[in-house]
Amino acid sequence: MEAVLYFGDEKQTQKFDVRTDKMSTGAIIGCVFAVLLIIGGSIAGVIAVYVYTKKQSKKKEEDKEKLMDEDINVTAVQVTPNECELTAPVDLIITFEAKKPLVDAYWLLRFVFDFAFKKQLIELTKTAPQNFSVGTHEERFHVDKIDISAVKETTILNMGLLSASLFVGHDENNALLDVNMCTEISKKKGSNTFIRTIMNPLE
């Protein structure tokens, strides 16, 4: 996306790294509105959008680096169904390589609504503690539904996060690893149905 700015007689072009092919209609409209704000002379609104986009890109790169932890290497992430109703069941498979033995390790799967601001968190499922030997392992998660009954619509429609955290021992404050999957949530036209699109952190 590109915007042309005029400062007196000087013409400047501002480019935005925005991929509209994976954005909801609401997100695209938001970006267009931001560009219109620039043309109208309000720079602050667009700067906020630009900074937010850069932060999102940086976060995705950081999350990918975390999956290459020196003790654990996540090699594959598969989540289904996708591009479906927000409350639909979730089936998640994480394949990882343990480079050292893990004792009393367990996974905690959560969904965070509006992870950038409100951070309203819902626990989805938790695995029983187990020991992992050195080598490759596969963890499977199944959730019957994501309950959104206690979440406001304004919170739902901000970027969400499906997060699988691996803990060792009994300290839930310090995860050994977080597999974070950014989730775009939009509202289906003409209905009250929310649609989720979960991003694979390895892609």
Give the pair of three-digit tokens for residue 200: 């694979």
One domain for residues 41 and 85: no
Q: What is the pLDDT of residue 11?
A: 47
Give the pair of three-digit tokens for residue 125: 């499922």
One domain for residues 76 and 61: no
CATH of the domain at 113: 2.60.40.1490
**Is 203 within a domain?**
no
Q: What is the pLDDT of residue 174?
A: 87
Give the pair of three-digit tokens for residue 117: 């601001």
Q: What is the pLDDT of residue 118?
A: 92
Q: What average pLDDT score do residues 158-179 get?
A: 92
Domain range for 78: 71-198
Burial of 187 (0-12, 13-18, 19+ CB in 10 A): middle
Q: What is the pLDDT of residue 142?
A: 98
**Is 108 within a domain?**
yes
Q: What average pLDDT score do residues 162-191 get?
A: 92
Q: What is the pLDDT of residue 126?
A: 96
One domain for residues 50 and 27: yes
Give the pair of three-digit tokens for residue 69: 């932890």
One domain for residues 103 and 156: yes
pLDDT top residue among 150 and 4: 150
Please give the angle made by the CA atoms of 199, 200 and 202, to the nearest 5 degrees: 140
pLDDT tops 90 at residue 154:
yes
Q: What is the pLDDT of residue 70?
A: 72
**Is 88 within a domain?**
yes
**Is 48 within a domain?**
yes
Band (167; pLDDT cuts 50, 70, 90): very high
Among 14, 34, 65, the domain boundary falls at 65
One domain for residues 6 and 45: yes
Among 12, 33, 65, the domain boundary falls at 65
Cβ 59 vs Cβ 167: under 8 Å: no
Closest-CA residue to 194 (of 162, 142, 141, 149): 149
Among 65, 86, 116, the domain boundary falls at 65
pLDDT tops 60 at residue 141:
yes
Q: What is the pLDDT of residue 62?
A: 54
The answer to whether the bond into 81 is cis (omega within 30° of 0) is yes
One domain for residues 183 and 103: yes
Cβ 196 vs Cβ 135: under 8 Å: no
Cβ 74 vs Cβ 67: under 8 Å: yes
Summarised one tens digit per residue, pLDDT across range 16-65 is: 444 444 445 554 444 444 444 444 443 443 333 344 344 445 544 554 45
pLDDT top residue among 170 and 85: 85
Summarised one tens digit per residue, pLDDT across range 80-129 is: 999 999 999 999 999 999 999 999 999 999 999 999 999 999 999 999 99
**Is 175 within a domain?**
yes
One domain for residues 162 and 106: yes
Averaged pLDDT of the chain: 78
Q: What is the pLDDT of residue 41?
A: 44
Q: What is the pLDDT of residue 65?
A: 52
One domain for residues 36 and 114: no
pLDDT tops 80 at residue 7:
no
One domain for residues 51 and 88: no
Q: How many domains does the chain have?
A: 2
Instruction: Supply the pTM of this predicted model.
Output: 0.67
Cα(66)–Cα(178) distance, rounded to whole angstroms?
7
